[in-house]
Structure 1
């Protein structure tokens, strides 16, 4: 649930920032009559994300055995691609996100109300679909109620933070926020990658399911709270296969270094404000 909470917080705050930028621009430019169109686009994008998440969950509920493991493994690998793209894209776009959104909205206003709704839909839909896929991949193997609680708490926290930012009640250095949550998400993605490989091994697509890299079950009992925390956040298991361990390290280490490298080269830019 910890990893899913982080996904909900990170993705939810991105969505909240996008919405607050759009709303603030319409309000400050005296175009409040277009707010209902913007909210209609946001609502449609939210509904699409929920439907995709529900369809993914429902679609795999009827699968079992190797077929279920194969689908879960493929979904995990797709989620890794999404989260990797997302964190690097957000790091690059953080400084100019507000300017770009305002420019797109200004162009949409010139076309008409439907274009405003479509622009809001597209701006939120990308983040929403990413959230749905990441949620599905991270929720594999968890108890039925935990993923829902985790994503709900994460999104609720992001909405509160977004509203406080919009109301100027608090100030957050969003560049630092997205940098450090991005670093954590790299480790979460490494865990999802590892889980995907494990599923493909269970589906007999990849070899080496019983070739274990190490065995820490005596030190980290699977039922212990700290073992559950490590498994929930980083998908760390006391007895991983050699291939699982190899892909975790091969992805997690270089991607984390590449993501954090700009912090060494130059100071962090100013925070983004809606």
Structure 2
């Protein structure tokens, strides 16, 4: 009984909060955000940079900074980074992010003291015996033993590489690159031991310099996922020109670039990360050999190129996309308001127009208030969440609404249908003779369209810069003002049918695009799987991504649009038929 009690007390001590207090804090997400922001800055993808910076600021707020001296420095560097954000100056932003990174490193070391020398010694003890055996096998030109020792080295490196990555990105990149080169050399059918010895010397030297504590500066290079895509395209071109051997140095350059951008691939698609790291050296090695199936290697390169392209988060909406939403939503409200104005003019009550404009102004104000409330709710509900998930979810909601909008527009493209609609809208005002009623109709038409516009822009905003969004809205407002003037002045002469037909086509196009972009965003966060169709291209302009998960919903959308169009046209033809005489 005493032994049991003693063991129980010992267990309580081991599991006590005091023991847990010794556990290291994990700041990995902060470093990932900084690294990704650097990659996106180099690629001039300022929309993504803004998202990552916002996420970084939010994550930093959640960190306990009460017992830290270095935390003040991190906060200061973040403030400087935020100031530079709006300038869209690549060099300035990269310098600010670098300062944040160094401040975070100092903060992490303060919070989680690490004996770096002990870790380097651990790496030395793990790798040195294997490297010695590998050198002996290379000098003996024993192919089987060289490959066996290389596999041992690779297995141990995969277990210990974090030691190097966390202390020196420069050495990590150098060792990773030479490891890839060695794999290429060992994959060749005709082994060149002079080349293998040269690669081994560079690899062993890099490991030795790191464990001895020698400093190595990181070379400043503007590498991004697009760099990998470009290199694979060059390799493809060499193979298509019947010169596969020229693709080998290009793939070697791919391996040189890889360590600086692999983090972005790893965080977005772990499976692709593993395949690229393992297969690119093998492909290069096979292309260096005779009698290899070149077409098979070309197919693999093409597939990997398209897989990396799918990972890239480009600005998916243009200024004109933003303008289209405002135009579509503003057009309906505008037509109703101008119809009310035209009615007052015909009734010789032009002095009462101010009430219509007052109702419209109130609708605009309420729309702005609703936008602010929804934005606040949106931000609170999704604090710390992935912005791509938000974009995907709101985008799909917007698409569902757009289908209804498209149907409404299509129905009103018939002049008789439009006249019936206007008569219905004015009915309550005419029957009561109340100007207040007309003002209320004006208010509701503006407010309803404003609320819909907010939903659409919530789905689009994460994928476009603030400047493009505001520019699109400004362009739409100018066009709407011109259209309003023309409608009010020439309301009896203008046919609204063509306006609605064009708007219908544009809104269906935008729904198709938003659906593709939204599902793709969810694929990037692994909420949806990705079954790629390598034979089809990526067309960002229309939101087309060659995966079954995006194509099937878009195909379903097109079918819904087609069925709806046929149904509306059939109904319109029936309404135009004269009644049968008895």
Structure 1 length-normalised TM: 0.76
SS in 1 for 2:463: coil
Task: Give the direction of change, closer, same or farther, for the CA distance of 1:252–1:90 in structure 2 (3 Å limit).
Answer: same
Instruction: State the structure with more CA Rg.
Output: 2
CA shift, 1:169, in A, is: 8.5
| Residue 179 (str. 1) matches residue 501 (str. 2) | yes
| Residue 3 (str. 1) matches residue 321 (str. 2) | yes
| Residue 50 (str. 1) matches residue 395 (str. 2) | no
| Residue 245 (str. 1) matches residue 565 (str. 2) | no
8 Å CA contact retained: 1:23, 1:35: yes
Distance (whole Å) between structure 2 residues aligned to residue 52 and residue 259 of structure 1: 33
Task: Give the direction of change, closer, same or farther, for the CA distance of 1:262–1:117 in structure 2 (3 Å limit).
Answer: closer
8 Å CA contact retained: 1:66, 1:202: no
Distance (whole Å) between structure 1 residues aligned to residue 341 and residue 324 of structure 2: 25
Matches within 5 A, 1:121-140: 121-140=443-462
8 Å CA contact retained: 1:56, 1:136: no
Matching residue of 2:411: 92
Matching residue of 1:214: 534
Matching residue of 1:166: 488
SS in 2 for 1:49: helix
Task: Give the direction of change, closer, same or farther, for the CA distance of 1:109–1:171 in structure 2 (3 Å limit).
Answer: closer
Of residues 37-46 and 85-94 in structure 1, the stretch that sits farther from structure 2 once superposed is 85-94
Task: Give the direction of change, closer, same or farther, for the CA distance of 1:243–1:86 in structure 2 (3 Å limit).
Answer: same
Structure 2 length-normalised TM: 0.39
Task: Give the direction of change, closer, same or farther, for the CA distance of 1:180–1:256 in structure 2 (3 Å limit).
Answer: farther
Distance (whole Å) between structure 2 residues aligned to residue 213 and residue 162 of structure 1: 47
Query: Whose RCO is larger (CA < 8 A, sep 6+)?
Result: 1
Distance (whole Å) between structure 2 residues aligned to residue 52 and residue 21 of structure 1: 26
| Residue 259 (str. 1) matches residue 577 (str. 2) | no
Distance (whole Å) between structure 1 residues aligned to residue 321 and residue 568 of structure 2: 25
Alignment equivalent of 1:39, drawn from 344, 349, 357: 357
CA shift, 1:46, in A, is: 1.2
CA shift, 1:35, in A, is: 2.4
Distance (whole Å) between structure 2 residues aligned to residue 122 and residue 265 of structure 1: 28
SS in 2 for 1:207: coil
**Which digits, 9 at most, give the CA deviation of each residue in 1:11-33, with x for residues without a partner?**
22222111111111123213334
| Residue 119 (str. 1) matches residue 119 (str. 2) | no
Matching residue of 2:389: 70
Distance (whole Å) between structure 1 residues aligned to residue 345 and residue 571 of structure 2: 38
What is the number of residues matched between the two proteins? 251
**Which digits, 9 at most, give the CA deviation of each residue in 1:17-69, with x for residues without a partner?**
11111111123213334322222211111122233344555655675664433
Matching residue of 1:22: 340
Distance (whole Å) between structure 2 residues aligned to residue 64 and residue 212 of structure 1: 32
Alignment equivalent of 2:472, drawn from 125, 146, 150: 150
Task: Give the direction of change, closer, same or farther, for the CA distance of 1:215–1:150 in structure 2 (3 Å limit).
Answer: farther
Distance (whole Å) between structure 2 residues aligned to residue 7 and residue 256 of structure 1: 22
Distance (whole Å) between structure 1 residues aligned to residue 344 and residue 491 of structure 2: 20
Q: Which runs of 5+ in 1 are unaligned?
A: 221-226
Alignment equivalent of 1:102, drawn from 426, 429, 445: 426
Task: Give the direction of change, closer, same or farther, for the CA distance of 1:262–1:33 in structure 2 (3 Å limit).
Answer: same
Matching residue of 2:248: none
**Which digits, 9 at most, give the CA deviation of each residue in 1:75-106, with x for residues without a partner?**
21221122111221233243422212221322
Matching residue of 1:13: 331
What's the C-alpha RMSD, in Å, of the aligned pairs?
3.1
| Residue 199 (str. 1) matches residue 521 (str. 2) | yes
